[in-house]
Amino acid sequence: MVGGAFVKLVEELKGTMSIQLICEHLGIVRSTYYRWKNSQNKISRKIERDQTIGQLCSAHKFRYGYRKLAALFPDVCEKTVQRVMQKYNWSCRVKVKKRKRTGQPAHVAENQLNRAFRATAPFQKLTTDITYLPFGQSILYLSSIMDLYNGEIIAYTIGPSQDTAFVLDTLRQLEVPEGALLHSNQGSVYTSYEYQKVIKENGIIISMSRKGTPADNSPNETFHFSLKSEEFYTLERVHLTNAIVQQKIEDYMYYYNYIRPFQKLNCHSPIEYRTTAA
Q: For the segment 200-217, what is each residue's pLDDT rounded down to a tens digit? A: 999 999 999 998 898 999
**Is the pLDDT higher at 83 or at 251?**
251
Instruction: Tell me the C-alpha distance between 278 and 273, whole Å.
Output: 9
Q: For the segment 178-198, what is each residue's pLDDT rounded down to a tens digit? A: 999 999 999 999 999 999 999
Instruction: Name the most confidently modeled range: 23-37, 81-95, 182-196.
Output: 182-196
Q: Report pLDDT for 1.
A: 47
Cα dist. 149→20, 190, 215 in Å? 63, 22, 18
Which of 52-66, 155-169, 252-266 is the least confident region? 52-66
Q: Report pLDDT for 37.
A: 67
Instruction: Tell me the C-alpha distance between 197 and 207, whole Å.
Output: 14
Instruction: Tell me the C-alpha distance between 202 and 224, whole Å.
Output: 27
Q: Where are the alpha helices (DSSP H) in the chain?
A: 3-13, 19-26, 30-59, 66-70, 78-87, 164-171, 188-191, 193-201, 218-231, 242-258, 270-277
3-state DSSP assignment of residue 208: strand
Assess contact for 156 and 126: CB atoms under 8 A: no
* Confidence at 105, pLDDT banded by 50, 70, 90: very low
SS (H, E, C) 92-112: CCCCCCCCCCCCCCCCCCCCC
Percentage of residues of the chain with pLDDT beyond 90: 51
Assess contact for 127 and 183: CB atoms under 8 A: yes
The pTM score is 0.66
Domains, in order of start, for the chain: 3-87 (no CATH), 125-277 (3.30.420.10)
| pLDDT at residue 18 tops 60 | yes
| pLDDT at residue 103 tops 60 | no
